[in-house]
Amino acid sequence: QVYLVESGGGSVKAGGSLRLSCRAPGCSIAANFVGWFRQAPGKEREGVAAIVLDGSSTYYADSVKGRFTISQDNAKDTVVLQMNSLQDEDTAMYYCAADCGYGGRWYLFDRPYEYESRGQGTRVTVSS
């Protein structure tokens, strides 16, 4: 497993923006995945976004398309989730997840909650 370091999150008014970062040292080889999933109280886990670390593909849940952007920074071991136009429904614990060393388990790509490693989570609260 990979140790993941998350940062970002917090509280924001509806319509605002937040930026989440996930550092995944040791998971910088192409065909590995890093993504984010979230879980709100009383709701099922939802895969939010994911990226292949060679930049070849991304995944977004329908609920966040056009508002969230997942990307890598120049260091290549950090993945950023930029969240714009936040809505009340985006309130949840957000978890970074990584699937490394398997050469790309594509059947899991859109399910970050099933990746091998996950972070401790960071809370995002959106208020009207």
Convert the pLDDT of each residue in 59-80 to its tens digit.
999 999 999 999 988 566 899 9
Q: Give the pLDDT of residue 26.
A: 81
pLDDT value of residue 69: 98
Q: What is the mean pLDDT of the chain?
A: 92
CB-CB neighbours of 123 under 10 Å: 11
> Whose CA is closest to 103, among 30, 1, 4, 36?
30
Q: Using the predicted structure, report yes or no on whether residue 109 has a pLDDT greater than 80.
A: yes
Q: Convert the pLDDT of each residue in 15-68 to its tens digit.
A: 999 999 999 888 877 778 999 999 999 999 999 999 998 888 999 999 999 999
Sorted by sequence, the CB contacts under 8 Å of residue 15 that are 6+ apart come out as: 85, 86
In this predicted structure, the answer to whether residue 13 has a pLDDT above a threshold of 70 is yes
